[in-house]
Structure 1
Amino acid sequence: MEGDLIPCSEEPINPYLKFANHTTIPTGYIWLRGDNSKTSHDSRFYGPVSQALVQGRVIYQIRPIFKKIESGL
Protein backbone atom coordinates (compact mmCIF):
# COMPACT_ATOMS: atom_id res chain seq x y z
CA MET A 1 0.00 0.00 0.00
CA GLU A 2 1.03 3.61 -0.33
CA GLY A 3 3.99 4.55 1.82
CA ASP A 4 5.04 0.91 2.30
CA LEU A 5 8.71 0.14 1.83
CA ILE A 6 9.02 -2.89 -0.46
CA PRO A 7 12.26 -4.92 -0.34
CA CYS A 8 13.47 -5.85 -3.81
CA SER A 9 15.74 -8.82 -3.24
CA GLU A 10 15.28 -10.01 -6.82
CA GLU A 11 16.45 -8.21 -9.93
CA PRO A 12 13.62 -6.40 -11.71
CA ILE A 13 12.29 -8.32 -14.70
CA ASN A 14 12.16 -5.13 -16.77
CA PRO A 15 15.74 -3.85 -17.17
CA TYR A 16 14.49 -0.25 -17.55
CA LEU A 17 13.11 -0.27 -14.00
CA LYS A 18 15.87 0.14 -11.48
CA PHE A 19 14.81 -0.64 -7.93
CA ALA A 20 17.81 -0.60 -5.63
CA ASN A 21 17.35 -2.71 -2.51
CA HIS A 22 13.88 -1.25 -1.95
CA THR A 23 11.23 1.06 -3.35
CA THR A 24 8.65 3.22 -1.59
CA ILE A 25 5.10 3.04 -2.88
CA PRO A 26 3.77 6.49 -3.85
CA THR A 27 0.38 7.72 -2.61
CA GLY A 28 -2.44 6.29 -4.72
CA TYR A 29 -0.38 3.30 -5.94
CA ILE A 30 0.02 -0.35 -4.95
CA TRP A 31 2.69 -3.01 -5.49
CA LEU A 32 1.42 -6.18 -7.17
CA ARG A 33 3.16 -9.57 -7.05
CA GLY A 34 2.15 -12.62 -9.01
CA ASP A 35 2.10 -16.10 -7.51
CA ASN A 36 4.78 -17.42 -9.89
CA SER A 37 7.69 -15.00 -9.61
CA LYS A 38 9.63 -16.57 -12.48
CA THR A 39 6.88 -15.87 -15.03
CA SER A 40 4.68 -13.14 -13.51
CA HIS A 41 4.52 -9.74 -15.16
CA ASP A 42 3.81 -7.78 -12.01
CA SER A 43 5.16 -4.66 -10.30
CA ARG A 44 8.68 -6.02 -10.69
CA PHE A 45 8.06 -5.56 -14.43
CA TYR A 46 5.77 -2.50 -14.53
CA GLY A 47 6.55 -0.75 -11.24
CA PRO A 48 3.87 0.51 -8.82
CA VAL A 49 0.31 0.41 -10.22
CA SER A 50 -2.28 3.16 -9.79
CA GLN A 51 -5.14 2.14 -7.48
CA ALA A 52 -7.48 3.70 -10.06
CA LEU A 53 -6.62 0.80 -12.40
CA VAL A 54 -7.55 -1.91 -9.89
CA GLN A 55 -10.91 -3.52 -10.67
CA GLY A 56 -11.06 -6.08 -7.86
CA ARG A 57 -9.57 -7.02 -4.53
CA VAL A 58 -8.45 -10.13 -2.67
CA ILE A 59 -10.97 -11.38 -0.12
CA TYR A 60 -9.50 -14.83 0.68
CA GLN A 61 -5.97 -16.19 0.76
CA ILE A 62 -5.75 -19.91 0.00
CA ARG A 63 -2.02 -20.45 0.54
CA PRO A 64 -0.01 -20.72 2.73
CA ILE A 65 -3.12 -20.98 4.95
CA PHE A 66 -6.78 -20.34 4.18
CA LYS A 67 -7.89 -17.08 5.76
CA LYS A 68 -10.19 -14.14 5.11
CA ILE A 69 -8.36 -10.93 4.22
CA GLU A 70 -9.44 -7.88 6.21
CA SER A 71 -8.64 -4.70 4.30
CA GLY A 72 -9.24 -1.04 4.85
CA LEU A 73 -9.68 -0.40 1.12
Structure 2
Amino acid sequence: METSASDERLGHVVHFRVELRVLNKITSVTSFLANIYFWRGVHYALRLGWRETLPISLSTQPRLLVFPR
Protein backbone atom coordinates (compact mmCIF):
# COMPACT_ATOMS: atom_id res chain seq x y z
CA MET A 1 0.00 0.00 0.00
CA GLU A 2 1.45 3.36 -1.06
CA THR A 3 1.55 6.31 1.33
CA SER A 4 0.95 9.72 -0.14
CA ALA A 5 3.14 12.74 0.58
CA SER A 6 0.39 14.33 2.70
CA ASP A 7 0.14 11.19 4.84
CA GLU A 8 3.90 11.26 5.42
CA ARG A 9 3.77 14.93 6.32
CA LEU A 10 0.92 14.26 8.75
CA GLY A 11 2.98 11.49 10.35
CA HIS A 12 5.89 13.89 10.84
CA VAL A 13 3.62 16.53 12.35
CA VAL A 14 2.07 14.02 14.79
CA HIS A 15 5.52 12.74 15.74
CA PHE A 16 6.75 16.31 16.26
CA ARG A 17 3.74 17.09 18.45
CA VAL A 18 4.35 14.03 20.61
CA GLU A 19 8.02 14.99 21.02
CA LEU A 20 6.99 18.54 21.90
CA ARG A 21 4.52 17.26 24.51
CA VAL A 22 7.17 15.03 26.08
CA LEU A 23 9.64 17.91 26.08
CA ASN A 24 7.08 20.18 27.74
CA LYS A 25 6.39 17.57 30.41
CA ILE A 26 10.11 17.14 31.12
CA THR A 27 10.57 20.92 31.32
CA SER A 28 7.64 21.37 33.69
CA VAL A 29 8.82 18.53 35.95
CA THR A 30 12.34 19.96 35.97
CA SER A 31 11.15 23.46 36.86
CA PHE A 32 8.87 21.98 39.55
CA LEU A 33 11.81 20.16 41.16
CA ALA A 34 14.05 23.24 40.84
CA ASN A 35 11.34 25.25 42.59
CA ILE A 36 11.16 22.75 45.45
CA TYR A 37 14.92 22.74 45.89
CA PHE A 38 15.07 26.55 45.73
CA TRP A 39 12.45 27.02 48.45
CA ARG A 40 14.00 24.23 50.50
CA GLY A 41 17.31 26.07 50.28
CA VAL A 42 15.67 29.31 51.39
CA HIS A 43 14.01 27.44 54.26
CA TYR A 44 17.31 25.92 55.43
CA ALA A 45 19.09 29.28 55.09
CA LEU A 46 16.45 30.83 57.34
CA ARG A 47 16.72 27.97 59.84
CA LEU A 48 20.50 28.31 59.97
CA GLY A 49 20.11 31.95 60.94
CA TRP A 50 21.10 33.59 57.68
CA ARG A 51 18.14 35.95 57.98
CA GLU A 52 20.56 38.86 58.14
CA THR A 53 21.72 38.19 54.58
CA LEU A 54 18.24 38.67 53.16
CA PRO A 55 17.15 42.21 52.28
CA ILE A 56 13.72 41.60 53.80
CA SER A 57 14.49 40.57 57.35
CA LEU A 58 11.91 38.36 59.03
CA SER A 59 12.95 39.53 62.47
CA THR A 60 10.96 42.22 64.26
CA GLN A 61 13.80 44.75 64.61
CA PRO A 62 15.36 46.19 61.46
CA ARG A 63 19.02 45.18 61.17
CA LEU A 64 21.86 45.96 58.85
CA LEU A 65 22.82 43.35 56.29
CA VAL A 66 25.37 41.20 58.09
CA PHE A 67 26.85 38.19 56.34
CA PRO A 68 27.61 35.11 58.44
CA ARG A 69 31.28 34.38 59.06
Higher relative CO (Cα under 8 Å, sequence separation at least 6) belongs to 1
Higher strand residue share = 1
Higher share of residues assigned helix:
2
Q: Which has the larger radius of gyration?
A: 2
Q: TM-score range by the shorter chain?
A: under 0.3
The alignment's TM-score, normalised by the length of structure 1, stands at 0.18
